[in-house]
């Protein structure tokens, strides 16, 4: 696909529903004691894998007029391995979900997901009692789970990972006593925020306590995905002639570290009409900005983990140098994102340097180039935004954006002038 630069950016968009929250709501609904309704879920490649997982063990799933209806009818052992595709959230939270159930199951994924580490989830979950086996001592998919009879446990994680934390919490709610989980730096908190409403999870002195409980029947609405909105925020501040309104975006503080980085760089961005429904959300007003380079530290990484490719792109449009360190976790995403970021921006003429745990980028004029997005949806969308704000780009695998943002090109077309 060839992407032409835009003369101006104008308009209003609504980004897709939040992918992270949709995954979690599906699992919570399958754990609940009666039928649940999820309004405005994201229906995309990754979340379809999670729906397939809960259906394979007995969940009844219906979808009509933008609403998912889910009820666990009768728990049944899956007759074949469960495919997780490219979705790390499906696999890791799925391991926690399957640990609760008195059955044998196997999870597997595509080539990319099969190379990503699962031992970080297996270690804490094993303390709760389920038995795991798999490739490289269950460090990589395929992984089998023999679940049921969950114990209680106390776990202190060495990494800040919302997926590891959520997998543990999901399993521990079926335990025989109170479990605790501690993390070195706070990661996105959608799981504990939701379960806290029902008194299942609480936090004391930085330690999350999980009480064995059954989730009651619920109705919930998924807010707009901040990580999807981030691409249009970047478009608005980097393009030389842009005014954008982005409606109903999730504003959970554990997800919006990107806004702090933007403001530090001098971005013209305003938050409006803030509301709350399980999660805070509101509107964003974005305009063309004169950006200054910045440094992103290891402590900030958990709150900007999905937006780091865009921070690199912001650095290319900023005056001075932008440096990101402490982000080695990026090498274990859908692609080696550090390598992919450096490669793509280098192809477009950026002055970028690769580190083991990050990169640096100096402000420059981006050139037209033919880009391979490494099968990574976020790298593909980053390159497209670079082309629209710069001198165009050709993407070799544009369909990969459907993993998280199926309507990305339609929304982009709405605002290009």
Per the structure block, which two tokens stand in for 376? 């990574």
Q: Is 336 a catalytic residue?
A: no
CB 152 within 8 A of CB 175: yes
Which one is catalytic: 283, 306, 376, 411? 306
The set of residues, in sequence order, having a beta carbon less than 8 Å from that of 26 and lying 6+ positions away, is: 38, 41, 47, 50, 51, 54, 68, 70
Q: Which residues are catalytic?
A: 306
């Amino acid at each position: 696909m060839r992407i032409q630069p835009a003369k101006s950016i104008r308009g209003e968009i609504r980004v897709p529903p939040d992918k992270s929250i949709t995954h979690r709501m599906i699992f919570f609904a399958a754990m609940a004691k009666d039928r649940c309704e999820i309004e405005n879920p994201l229906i995309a490649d990754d979340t379809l894998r999670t729906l397939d997982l809960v259906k394979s063990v007995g969940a009844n799933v219906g979808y009509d007029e933008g609403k998912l209806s889910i009820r666990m009818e009768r728990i049944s052992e899956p007759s074949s391995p469960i495919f997780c595709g490219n979705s790390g959230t499906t696999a890791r939270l799925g391991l926690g979900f399957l640990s609760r159930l008195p059955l044998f199951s196997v999870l597997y994924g595509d080539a990319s997901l099969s190379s990503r580490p699962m031992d970080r989830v297996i270690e804490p979950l094993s303390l709760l009692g389920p038995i795991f086996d798999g490739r490289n001592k269950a460090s990589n998919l395929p992984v089998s789970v023999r679940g049921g009879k969950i114990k209680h446990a106390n776990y202190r994680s060495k990494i800040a990972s919302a997926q590891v934390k959520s997998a543990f919490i999901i399993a521990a709610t079926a335990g025989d006593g109170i479990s605790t989980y501690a993390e070195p730096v706070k990661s996105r908190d959608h799981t504990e925020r939701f379960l806290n409403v029902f008194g299942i999870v609480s936090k004391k002195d930085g330690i999350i306590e999980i009480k064995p409980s059954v989730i009651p029947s619920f109705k919930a609405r998924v807010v707009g995905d901040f990580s999807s909105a981030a691409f249009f925020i970047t478009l608005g501040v980097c393009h030389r002639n842009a005014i954008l309104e982005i409606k109903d975006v999730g504003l959970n503080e554990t997800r919006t570290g990107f806004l702090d980085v933007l403001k530090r760089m001098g971005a013209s961005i305003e938050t409006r009409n803030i509301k709350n429904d399980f999660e805070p959300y509101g509107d964003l007003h974005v305009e063309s900005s004169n950006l200054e380079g910045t440094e992103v530290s290891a402590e900030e990484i958990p709150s900007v983990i999905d937006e780091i490719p865009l921070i690199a792109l912001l650095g290319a449009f900023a005056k001075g140098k932008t440096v990101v360190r402490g982000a080695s976790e990026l090498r274990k995403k859908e692609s080696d994102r550090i390598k992919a970021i450096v490669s793509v921006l280098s192809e477009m003429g950026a002055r970028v340097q690769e580190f083991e745990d990050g990169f640096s980028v100096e402000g420059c004029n981006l050139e037209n180039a033919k880009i391979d997005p490494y099968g990574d949806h976020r790298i593909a969308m980053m390159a497209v935004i670079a082309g629209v704000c710069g001198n165009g780009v050709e993407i070799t695998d544009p369909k990969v954006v459907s993993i998280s943002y199926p309507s990305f090109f339609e929304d982009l077309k709405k605002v290009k002038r």
